[in-house]
A and B are shown apart, each in its own frame.
Chain A
Amino acid sequence: MGDAGWLVDVAFWACSLIAVATGVLVFVVDSMARATYALATSFIATGGALLLMQQSYLGVVVVLMMVMEMAVMAVYMVMFMGMNPALMPMSMVHSHRAAIGVAVATFVVLGSGAVLVPWPERRGAPAPDVTEALGTAIMESHMLVMMVVGPVMVATIVVGVLLSSARTRYDRMGDDLDQPPTDPPTGRTGVRG
């Protein structure tokens, strides 16, 4: 880490504290709006921790992606919740004690493993430009990953549109598209001839 090692340490602990504390706040605050902001803050802090480990591209992508996701979540709340979420206290939980028990057990098991396992020494050194190395990897030796991720993203868009559509041609004309439409629009559009 060099001379700035202690600075990195301080920044890491700050990011960690913020990430975990706001992560807890997501399920403590009494409105979905506050929970949304808390989760966004948690992810930005997680992205910051990744940046401290010199993962510039992934850290920035995490931050940008989560800011956008929280914007989508805000739109979702406005669309469906029919009230001002910031003013509506709520507690919608079940199996509260059991969930806390499982969460604590998870932390104890994973945390024990993190501390007790004799981790090996670092092998190799990071590339001088980590982002460039990542770009080269996904365009050369690991291109298959990008070839898979691309279609998966497209499939996700299709699935998202299909699931969230109020009415599709499959709703109107059956799974095999062989039923007469129940609500033919004016003119020939949409009527199967």
Chain B
Amino acid sequence: MSLETVLLVASALLAVGVYGALSQQVVVMVMMGLELMIAGVLLALGGFWWFLSPDPSGQVLLLVVLAAMTVEMATGFAIATLLHRRAGHDMTDMATELRE
């Protein structure tokens, strides 16, 4: 295990998440893509912390990223629920109200 290998794995996770966020139509699946991207960021930050500068400040940053992931999850589910209540679907392609 080295910083390079950790970053490679993190890049793979982020790339898979990018594919999901760009290609999926169901809101929950888009959220899954975003979460995979955040998982990649978490792993990369963890690698930087461990291999470059293992002091507590880096871990605090990871905690903030984790909190961002929680906020994304909770708000995303709430928006998906709202979408389903208002329009009866959970597809991004049909959620065009903001465009109009």
Chain A positions near chain B (C-beta within 8 angstroms)? 1, 8-9, 12-13, 16, 19-20, 23-24, 26-27, 32, 35, 39, 42-43, 46, 49-50, 52-55, 57-58, 61-62, 65, 69, 72-73, 76-77, 80, 92-96, 98-100, 102-104, 106-107, 110-111, 113-115, 119-120, 122-127, 130, 133-134, 136-138, 141-142, 145, 149, 152-153, 156-157, 159-164, 166
Contact = CB atoms under 8 A, between A and B. Distances in A.
Contact of B80 (A54, A76, A123): A76
Nearest to A55: B46
B63 A26 contact: no
A58 B75 contact: no
A93 B77 contact: no
Interface in B14-73: 14-20, 22-26, 28-29, 32-33, 35-36, 39, 42-43, 46-47, 49-57, 59-60, 62-64, 66-67, 69-71, 73
11 contacts: A27-B32, A35-B29, A43-B35, A55-B49, A77-B28, A94-B23, A99-B19, A102-B22, A106-B15, A138-B60, A142-B56
A23 B16 contact: yes
A24 B16 contact: yes
Contacts of B63: 58, 134, 138, 145, 149
A100 B78 contact: no
Interface residues of B, number: 68
Interface of B: 1, 3-20, 22-26, 28-29, 32-33, 35-36, 39, 42-43, 46-47, 49-57, 59-60, 62-64, 66-67, 69-71, 73-75, 77-82, 84-85, 90-91, 93
Contacts of A106: 11, 14-15, 18
Contact of A35 (B17, B32, B50): B32
A124 B7 contact: no
Given A39-B36, A110-B7, A114-B7, 18 more contacts: A23-B36, A26-B16, A49-B46, A62-B39, A72-B77, A94-B93, A111-B11, A113-B7, A114-B4, A114-B8, A120-B52, A122-B52, A127-B55, A137-B59, A142-B57, A145-B63, A153-B70, A153-B71
A110 B52 CA distance: 18
Contacts of B15: 103-104, 106-107, 110
Contacts of A120: 52
A114 B23 contact: no
A8 B2 CA distance: 11
A27 B23 contact: yes
Contact of B52 (A77, A123, A159): A123
A137 B12 contact: no
